[in-house]
Amino acid sequence: MEPIRRVTAPTLDVLGALLTADGPTWGLLVIKATGRQAGTVYPILERLEQLGWIRSSWDDDAERSGPRRRLYEFTADGVVAARGLVDTRTAAARAAARPAGAVRPSNRPVAS
């Protein structure tokens, strides 16, 4: 598995959508979960697959009408890396949003 060289907000959104999915999910659900355009989501999914973070397969449900769905799911290493990346970026965003000079709360009692 290769690292992601350029981590963008859309990439984090796609990783987050895949992390919250219950098992393999298809691209349209990722599009709906992220609110991103198909032209943004599908290239990210393809890139993640090429890097070894996710794998894909074709849905073989013959009972369902309509076009076949391509299902995406994390590899074992990919899910660990995705959780770490999303958690790190979320923590960094929270820290950046904290006003300058803000005091972090502590568990120490206040002395009067």
Q: What is the pLDDT of residues 2-47, one digit of tens each?
A: 999 989 999 999 999 999 999 999 999 999 999 999 999 999 999 9
- Predicted confidence at residue 62, as pLDDT, reads 80
Whole-model pTM?
Answer: 0.82
Q: What is the pLDDT of residues 46-105, one digit of tens each?
A: 999 999 999 999 998 888 888 889 999 999 999 999 999 999 988 888 888 877 666 666
Listing DSSP states for the chain in one string gives -PPPSS--HHHHHHHHHHHHSSSSEEHHHHHHHHT--HHHHHHHHHHHHHHTSEEEEE---TTS-SSPPEEEEE-HHHHHHHHHHHHHHHHHHHHHHSPTTPPPP-SSPPP-
Question: Which strands, in side-by-side order, build the sheet including 54-58?
Answer: 25-26, 70-74, 54-58
Go through the domains of the chain in sequence order and give each one's CATH number: 9-89 (1.10.10.10)
